[in-house]
A = this chain, B = another copy of it.
C-alpha cells in the first residue's frame, strides 16, 4: 500500500488518516476503524498502526478510549497559540492576509529578545510582515523571521492564511516540536494605531514566540500583535 512513498509506514498511515479527517471523510464523533481492522486493511502490524494513532492523539485529531475505539475530534491542536477564532460568531471564509513586507533575505538584527545560534546568524534571515483581516477589519499584525537554511525557493511561496507551518511540513519536512512564548498586554503605539484603526491607549495583546523544529538548531521567531476587541487569540493544546 505505502511501499513507494519513501516515508516510514507509520507516517504514511498517519498522513492518510490525517487527510481523511481533514477532508471530512471521518467526522467529529466518528470512530476510526479499529487497530486490528487498520492492521488488516493496510497489511501492517498492530504496533505500527498504534504508532500512527499515537501521533494523531498527540496532534489532537483523535482521542482513544479503552474498550471503545479511536474517536475523531476533527480539528488539530494549534501550535502553541496560533489559531484564531471569532469571539462572537463562527469564523467563516472571511479571513484575508495583506503582505506588508514580502518575504526577503536579510541579515539578522535581533530576534524579539531571543538568542539565535551562530549557525542561524550565518545563514541569514528570511523576513516578512503580514496584516491579517477578518471581515476586512485588521485584527492581527505579525512579523516572522526564520533562518535561510536549506529552504530553496521559499520566498516564491505565497504566505497567506495560516499556511506557513503547512508549507514547511509538506514542502520541506519541517515539523514544529515545541517552543517558548511570552505574552504581554500593552497600549497601541502609533504604528499599531494605524494598522488597527484604533485610538491611543487601546489595549493590544503581544505574543512573542521562539519555535523549535525537528531540524536541530533551526527555529522560527514570531511576533504577533492582536486587537482583541472583537476577536480573541484562540488556541488548543
Most chain B CB within 10 A, of A181, A204, A226, A234, is at A181
Asked whether A161 is an interface residue with its Cβ less than 8 Å from the other chain, the reply is no
Interface string of A187-208 (1 = CB under 8 A from B): 1000000000000010111010
Closest to A82 in B: B237
Query: In whole angstroms, how far apart are the Cα atoms of A223 and B187 in the complex?
Result: 22
A237 lies within 8 A of B201 (CB): no
Closest to A51 in B: B54
B203 lies within 8 A of A187 (CB): yes
A236 lies within 8 A of B178 (CB): yes
Chain A residues numbered 169-195 whose CB sits less than 8 Å from any CB in chain B? 177-187
Q: Quote the shortest CB–CB distance from A214 to chain B (angstroms).
A: 10
Asked whether A60 is an interface residue with its Cβ less than 8 Å from the other chain, the reply is yes
Asked whether A34 is an interface residue with its Cβ less than 8 Å from the other chain, the reply is no
B182 lies within 8 A of A232 (CB): yes
Residues of chain A at interface, number, CB under 8 A: 36
Asked whether A93 is an interface residue with its Cβ less than 8 Å from the other chain, the reply is no
Asked whether A27 is an interface residue with its Cβ less than 8 Å from the other chain, the reply is no
B186 lies within 8 A of A203 (CB): yes
Partner of A184, one of B54, B228, B235: B228
A228 lies within 8 A of B180 (CB): no
A180 lies within 8 A of B65 (CB): no
With contact pairs A65-B216, A81-B81, A237-B237 given, residues A203 and B185 touching in the complex (Cβ less than 8 Å): yes
Q: A185-B185, A186-B203, A237-B237 are in contact. List 9 more A-B contacts (CB 8 A).
A: A58-B58, A60-B178, A180-B235, A180-B236, A183-B183, A184-B205, A185-B186, A185-B203, A205-B205
- Top 3 nearest A-B pairs by Cβ distance? A185-B205, A185-B203, A183-B233
